[in-house]
Structure 1
Amino acid sequence: MRSVPGRLSRLFDLGLWLVVCAPPVTAAVSPHGREVMTAAVGVPLLGTAVALSRRWPLSALAVPVALSLTLDAQMSTPLYWTALVLFGYLAGRRMATARPALWFFAAVAVAGLPLCALVLHDLWGWPIQLLTLLLTVGLPWLLGRYRRQYAELVGTGWRLADRLEREQQAVADRARIRERARIAGDMHDSLGHDLTLIAVRAGALELDPKLDARQQAAIGELREAAGAATERLREIIGVLRTDDEQPPRVPSAENAEALVERVRSSGVTVTLERLGDTDDLPPMVGLAVHRVLQEALTNAAKHAPGTAVHVRLVRDGAILGLSVVNDPATVAPLPGVASGGSGLVGLDERVRLAGGTLRTGSTPEGGFEVVAELPLGGGATPRTATATRPTASVRELAHARRQVRRRLTQTVVVPLAVLAGILLLMIPISFISSSFSVLDRDRYEQLKVGDARGDMRSRLPAFTKDGPPDGAPPTPKGEDCVYYNTRTASADAYRLCFAHERLASKAIVRPCSFCVHVRSARGATPETARRR
């Protein structure tokens, strides 16, 4: 069973075929044989164009263009204007890219010049052809392109709305997961510090000569277990952390002296120097100081065991400076103590959130230092991190909007530019047409009434004058009159009138302000027709 969209598309194609075939079929009702032949050829070809219009819209557009050029090189016949408009619109609506259509239009425009010159023997037919092509094909095609871009914008909006709705449904779950990750990060910071101190104490007891071999082995196992527990904790927390995780903002209740004393009791030599009032600190600064000091002391115990660590906390006006420097390491790090390598990155983020700066690196003496500077002013603003890039949805919507604005501009500007180009093109065409439509006076005198038109073609110019001059007498009934210039850029013209493909009369038309003098081959004296 056929789907509803499939049936609707076939009904649409059938209606399109009936509409585009209506003008040639209507013309075929007339008694002239040419219109009957036109309908007999055009109706099946237009049916083929309708069949091709969905998959190959540009090929479908080429069918009425070819039919229109076959009937009239100027494309001025109205039999296929309806087909040109509709297939031009459908080509713009259904084509994904515009470049093939532009090449097609350019090819038709370029081919129109030799076609008008060879078939019509009149260069003025080319601007008429270009203007017809612009109005019947170019404008509908631009309108179809604009409608396509507008539909894409609407579709993009609906996709973004659907994506936003689905993302909102997951907001609660993501918030819970993020909060769990923050809690896990705090567990890593605090428990990792404690486990590291346990491993350091166990390492110091393992080397105590007062213990026997069994006790030392048990303490060694305790040290290795603490190191393994730290490694497992780091791996688990590393999986739970997210890229946009923010550190907790609740300050620790443990001050610097308590933290230093706890580390010192584990066997690490730590000295603390305070300068200025460093007790009453803002919550964010106090949290950052505690976190930097905790991580720096933990790293010193891990990577430089047995060395002295110097802590300096200085308040200078509205700036609090913290430096943690350890002496050069004399022994290798204790075995079994793991390092995640991301502690300093976390410290930099914590200090940034407090509005400060962090600097880490080796000292000239061979040790390692961690230096932080934190502002003490109320409401410290975090330093700007890497600029947030627009999301894919925002970029997609902005791109669609730019495309629609550009297509709307093209719909207005391109026809005006083409029209201006056609008007400018008339200047050289006027000069060329005037130059190649000059009939020599001697040849004019040699033309005799009654000569066959076919025999006269070799003696006539390649092109005719652009229409009759001002004040020319009306064309006699049943005759076909053409005009030739007497010389380049001259207002005078030769008029040759044919009846039944034979020269019926010839005359010289000279327009003036009040009259037109006509010298006719039918009489011996000039005939003067006064203009009222």
Structure 2
Amino acid sequence: MPDGVRARARVRVRVRARVRVRVRVLDGLLWLLLCVPVVLFSAPDDGGSWHRVAAGAAVLAAGMALGRRWPTVPLVLAAAGSLAVSPELFTPPYALALVAFGYLAGRRAERTRPALWLFAAVPVAGLARILATGGALTQWFALLLSGALTLVAPWLIGRYVRQYDRLVRSGWELADRMEREQEAVADRERLRERSRIAGDMHDSLGHDLALLALRAGALELDPALGPEQQRAAGELRRAAADATGRLRDIIGVLREDGEDAPVAPPDESVADLVARARASGLTVALDDTTGPVPGMTARAVHRVIQEGLTNAAKHAPGAPVRVRVHTPDGTHVHADVTTPPADGTPGPGLASGGTGLVGLDERVRLAGGTLRHGATPEGGFTLSAALPLRSPSPRPTAPRSARELDLARRQVRRGLAQAIWIPLALLTALGTLMAGVGLYTQHQTYLEPEDYTRLHVGTPRPYITPFLPARPLDGPPHAAPPEPHGMDECFYYRSTLLAAIPVYRLCYEDGHLADKSKLP
């Protein structure tokens, strides 16, 4: 391993060690801070015991040890310890731990579902503890309020800070990436331009070499020339074929993988191209009925005909070629190059490498058209392209950095939306629940007017009990008149379900109903 690599590896190891030490120191300081309320409010001087202090410190230590890997676990431990002390959840020893662990859970956790399950499980566990110990239902409302303040609110703040940090970090990362990419733009553009030039060389120069080989082949077979001239023409034909093969190999090396076909405009029209092919000895019949064609479509049509003539010169040098350019529907231009079977055999060294049709297909696709090629039933070959008269406009695509930054912004907005609707949903659920419980409690103290009229003074108390609600009010309403003198006890009941007054008052003496009245 080189010395530079070893040095960089040692630096990385030292940096990781320093980060681990710093993390442990911060966790230890936070643990000491969270242990202070446990010691102050669970010590023997405050009605607790040292065993309770040790248990609380151990719970907090376990939460700090597991918090970085499982961020929700410390919050679960702190909530369990707080519920063990008080069914109302808010306890002085663990209040600070609940707030700190709630914030860290929102700050560190990738997923929100474990925290939401915890927020739903704490009220259920608190209600079960209250019912098991015979506590009042008001304690559960205190638990819900305490959970919203010490669990949900810190967690939402942590989620917001996490989303904001992610947005800032994404912005800096994208800026750094764009700066690095900008440094390579000039080199990449130079290489891309070289590749385009190489593609144009393959398209135009390959066509010219094929026509040169075709003309040399005709001279080689001309009986008017002497043996020396025919041999020189054959050498010229073979040299042109070899040059075509070497050009194809070189261009294949220069082209980039997956690069679009070059779109450099040709310097001649379709008629000029066909005339040049005829001058080289190729028999070509042209049928062109189109008018003006847009630039990109015209270049694609020129390239299709050029490739068709090049293939005909290579593979069917003695066959007549038919070129047809027409617009059958008024919206697309069709370019067809048809070659019947050749009378002779192609010259040696003129085999195609197969890259011309691939590049041609890409160019036609960029112009918004389709390309077809294949053998005809007679044994010849046809090359056909359908291109739109109106060139397609390229769709603007946002750069990758902009898409990633937009994704980060959407995540932040979603986190902020959660920070708004989760508290609203909790408050709505809590209000609805409290309203339902309030109605139920009022119904438990509501005496039906029909049952009140059935009660008569002097009736023994056991005969009156079946007509009474589950329980009376806790006491007389404010500014109620004094109770009758000499009564053993008096009870008050609601006369209407939704109003606090008026109320019914029933007073007993010696186990009998001695007075009944409706107090305004």
TM-score between the two structures when normalised by the length of structure 2: 0.72
- Contact 2:506/2:513 (CA < 8 Å) preserved in 1? no
Question: Identity of aligned pairs, percent?
Answer: 48
Q: Which residues of 2 match residues 320-469 of structure 1 at below 5 A?
A: 323-329=336-342, 333-347=346-360, 350=363, 367-370=380-383, 382-384=391-393, 392-426=400-434, 429=437
Is 1:510 aligned to 2:492, yes or no? yes
- The 3 A distance-change label for structure 1 pair 101 and 197 is same
- The 3 A distance-change label for structure 1 pair 246 and 206 is closer
- Contact 1:434/1:488 (CA < 8 Å) preserved in 2? no
Q: Which amino acid aligns with 2:262?
A: P
Q: Which residues of 2 match residues 138-177 of structure 1 at below 5 A?
A: 138-177=152-191
- Alignment counterpart, residue 319 of structure 2, candidates 301, 307, 311: 307
Q: Which residue of 2 aligns with 1:98?
A: 112
CA deviations on 1:303-335 (whole Å, 9 max, x unpaired) are 333211133467999997754333345566544
CA deviations on 1:12-60 (whole Å, 9 max, x unpaired) are 3344234323333333578443276644532343234333332333222
- Contact 1:127/1:425 (CA < 8 Å) preserved in 2? no
Is 1:49 aligned to 2:81, yes or no? no
- Contact 2:326/2:335 (CA < 8 Å) preserved in 1? yes
- The 3 A distance-change label for structure 1 pair 289 and 108 is closer
More divergent stretch after superposition (45-54 vs 211-220): 211-220
Corresponding residue SS for 1:87: helix
- Contact 2:492/2:506 (CA < 8 Å) preserved in 1? yes
Q: Which residues of 2 match residues 242-321 of structure 1 at below 5 A?
A: 242=256, 243-245=258-260, 247-252=262-267, 254-273=268-287, 287-288=299-300, 290-312=302-324
Q: Give the Cα separation in 2 of the matches to 1:240 and 1:284.
A: 24
Q: Give the Cα separation in 2 of the matches to 1:100 and 1:126.
A: 22
Q: Which residues of 2 match residues 27-46 of structure 1 at below 5 A?
A: 27=41, 31-34=45-48, 38-46=52-60
Q: Which amino acid aligns with 1:304?
A: A
Question: Number of matched residues?
Answer: 466
- Contact 1:273/1:313 (CA < 8 Å) preserved in 2? yes
Q: Which residue of 1 aligns with 2:80?
A: 66
- Contact 2:40/2:46 (CA < 8 Å) preserved in 1? no
Corresponding residue SS for 1:78: coil
- The 3 A distance-change label for structure 1 pair 259 and 59 is closer
Q: Which residue of 2 aligns with 1:441?
A: none
Q: Which amino acid aligns with 1:126?
A: W
CA deviations on 1:133-160 (whole Å, 9 max, x unpaired) are 2221122112212222222222221111
- Contact 1:251/1:284 (CA < 8 Å) preserved in 2? no
- Contact 1:494/1:507 (CA < 8 Å) preserved in 2? no
User: How much has 1:174 moved relative to structure 2?
Assistant: 0.9
Q: Give the Cα separation in 2 of the matches to 1:428 and 1:331.
A: 99
TM-score between the two structures when normalised by the length of structure 1: 0.71
Corresponding residue SS for 1:34: coil
User: How much has 1:165 moved relative to structure 2?
Assistant: 0.7
Q: Give the Cα separation in 1 of the matches to 2:331 and 2:432.
A: 73
Q: Which residue of 1 aligns with 2:201?
A: 187
Corresponding residue SS for 2:392: coil
Q: Give the Cα separation in 2 of the matches to 1:35 and 1:487.
A: 47
User: How much has 1:172 moved relative to structure 2?
Assistant: 0.6
Is 1:492 aligned to 2:473, yes or no? yes
Q: Give the Cα separation in 1 of the matches to 2:445 and 2:503.
A: 24
Name the structure where helix makes up a greater proportion of residues: 2
Q: Which amino acid aligns with 1:307?
A: A
- Contact 2:341/2:379 (CA < 8 Å) preserved in 1? yes
Q: Give the Cα separation in 2 of the matches to 1:309 and 1:343.
A: 18
CA deviations on 1:151-194 (whole Å, 9 max, x unpaired) are 22222211111111111101110111111111111211122112
- The 3 A distance-change label for structure 1 pair 431 and 489 is farther
- Alignment counterpart, residue 210 of structure 2, candidates 191, 196, 215: 196
Q: Relative contact order (C-alpha < 8 Å, sep 6+): which is higher? A: 1
Q: Give the Cα separation in 2 of the matches to 1:69 and 1:400.
A: 38
Q: Which residue of 2 aligns with 1:116?
A: 130
- The 3 A distance-change label for structure 1 pair 320 and 204 is same
Q: Give the Cα separation in 1 of the matches to 2:437 and 2:331.
A: 81
- Contact 2:331/2:388 (CA < 8 Å) preserved in 1? yes
- Contact 1:308/1:327 (CA < 8 Å) preserved in 2? yes
List gaps (5 residues or longer) in structure 2.
1-13, 447-465, 477-487, 495-500
Is 1:80 aligned to 2:94, yes or no? yes
- The 3 A distance-change label for structure 1 pair 517 and 239 is same
- Contact 1:356/1:374 (CA < 8 Å) preserved in 2? yes
